[in-house]
A and B are shown apart, each in its own frame.
Chain A
């Protein structure tokens, strides 16, 4: 490569043609996938936008959006949805990051065993896990029974049928989505960097925060983003553990389908959620690139 670099000035035109050809070839190879994306993503989402502008009488109308402004409950539902998703993501990071770090420091054999225990809940139905939490956390459930018999608290505490219960259930379900990418990123970090850091006089904490942590951030961001986006669409867990008071967008979509004669009322909610999510992701992606750069990931 170094030899051709010297001659770039001479055959720049030739190189450019080659580059174009290669791009075309790559595009050709990617086209089946792109077509698939068009068919299963772009067209349905476009249809969703279209339907959201159809009123109850079947004509073009803004009524589905006007309703969302007129009734305060909609804004509150969106607020709850983003609040829960953010809190769940935060809690997943707090619990998942140290666990992934611990796993990454273990010898292979033990790390794999830990990985299996992390993955195990994945193989149980989400519904079963959610109801299991209900049984554990309710007023006369295991947690309250033990807490009272051990003298930790006297009256049954309310840990389910509210925000707390919803968060517990969601964090439990989302945790593997955070741990796996973080663990992957951590495993890929060359241990010699840390050795070099301590060799240069860094304390273990300093070595962790200035070398290890920045190198693990790509996995952390990928995991957090996945958790956050998946949380936005949660239905079963808040419906069962929220006691009917924690209402997320997906639940409102269902109740709008039940309530209104047209699909538009529900589609408009989907559109707003999609647009808000894209905005959040766009902001996050700007922030994320910056982080990666300052983190010195390369």
Chain B
């Protein structure tokens, strides 16, 4: 009798662990207030509703995925990536194609999902300034960001090429619609980099992560920086004297991808479907000012009109911005990155 009970117990235990093992997903994102927002709005509720155990970590981007895939030691199931990084990774064959029979994107904005990556949020690369230094008369355009006489003070700028060249050309007077045409040659890239060279002696930090540029503004280490809008709003909530606008900003989106050979691919696909639903996406703006990629998220009544107007993807804000060109990044990023590093080491 006793043995039998132990056996049943053991079998039962094994069954539950088997289910738990099945329903487990390793999720990697960018850390900081961004991942915290994802965790609160998407992952924690989804874990509760689906019973999937989600192990979160922060990671260094698609290079980590490349490392895992090429060494055959894939541990990550879902990774968050910028749209450009995901497009390149997909071209390299590092990602699993997404199954849109499982993931429902019928109410998504067109263009915010690809075969390999499903959009999670819409964000902007903006310039932010210290309101203690500049008061209400802060810089309004990229040309102002470059104008060290009218707006004296230290700057921070991105240490990587992505999102770094477009502002330079806009400051140089290039029409927003023409930016990527101008950048489509080494001369064009050099023109943008020359413009950054002009400003370089005033750039005290070249930042490498979103958490870093938010901290730089919080500490008052620099008076102006480029960066991602949501991070600045969260820094402001924490007491940072920071403000930004969407004028001339770069409109981009983050997306979720599954690395090739992910151990829990099917569960990951299910989880992606879950967190793409409007009832999850409509919670994200509560924690970070990034817009939903699922149109239906605006219709649940959770996002009020004032919040909607503050999001990068609101029609009014979107009209002021330059949408990031994935094609350009696919073709030119490597060359541009090398040229950018040239400028950094001078």
Q: How many CB-defined contacts (below 8 Å) exist between A and B?
A: 64
Among B67, B70, B219, B337, the residue within 8 A (CB) of A259 is B337
Decide if A244 touches B219 in the complex (CB within 8 Å): no
Q: Is the CB of A73 within 8 A of B338?
A: yes
CA separation between A245 and B63, bound complex, in Å? 22
- Contact partner of B219 (CB less than 8 A), chosen from A72, A139, A255, A258, is A139
With A139-B221, A259-B334 as contacts: A76 and B345 at CB distance below 8 Å: yes
Interface residue A50 (Cβ < 8 Å from any Cβ of B): no
Q: How far is the CB of B193 from chain A (nearest CB, A)?
A: 12
**Interface range on chain B (Cβ under 8 Å from partner):** 20 to 34
Known A-B contacts A71-B338, A243-B205, A257-B63; A80 and B345 likewise in contact (beta carbons under 8 Å):
yes
Interface size class of A (residues with CB under 8 A): 20 to 34
Q: Contact: A244 with B334, CB < 8 Å?
A: no
CB of B31 within 8 A of chain A?
no
The distance in angstroms between the C-alpha atoms of A255 and B62, with both chains bound, is 12
Measured between alpha carbons, how far is A255 from B341 in the docked complex, in Å?
10
A121-144 interface mask toward B, CB cutoff 8 Å, 1 = contact, 0 = none?
A: 000000000000000001110000
A243→B204 CA distance, assembly (Å): 7
Among residues of A, the one whose C-beta sits closest to the C-beta of B341 is A73
CB of B48 within 8 Å of the partner chain: no
With A138-B219, A139-B219, A139-B220: A244-B207 Cβ-Cβ less than 8 Å: yes
State whether A247 touches B221 (Cβ < 8 A): no
CA distance A244 to B220 in the complex (A): 18
Contact with B along A235-267 (1 / 0, CB 8 A): 000010001110100001011011111010000
| B220 near A247: Cβ-Cβ < 8 Å | no
B205 and A247 form a contact (CB under 8 A): no
Is B187 an interface position by the 8 A CB rule?
A: no
Q: Are B206 and A245 in contact (CB under 8 A)?
A: yes
Query: Which residue in chain A gives the minimum CB-CB distance to B208?
Result: A244
A73 adjacent to B345 (CB under 8 Å): yes
Which of B63, B204, B338, B342 lies in contact with A258, CB distance below 8 A? B63
A138, B63: Cα distance in complex, Å: 30
Is the Cβ of A260 less than 8 Å from the Cβ of B334? Answer: yes
Contact B61 A258 (CB under 8 A): yes
Binding site for A on B (CB under 8 A): 60-63, 66-67, 70, 92, 154, 159-160, 204-208, 219-221, 333-334, 337-338, 341-342, 344-346
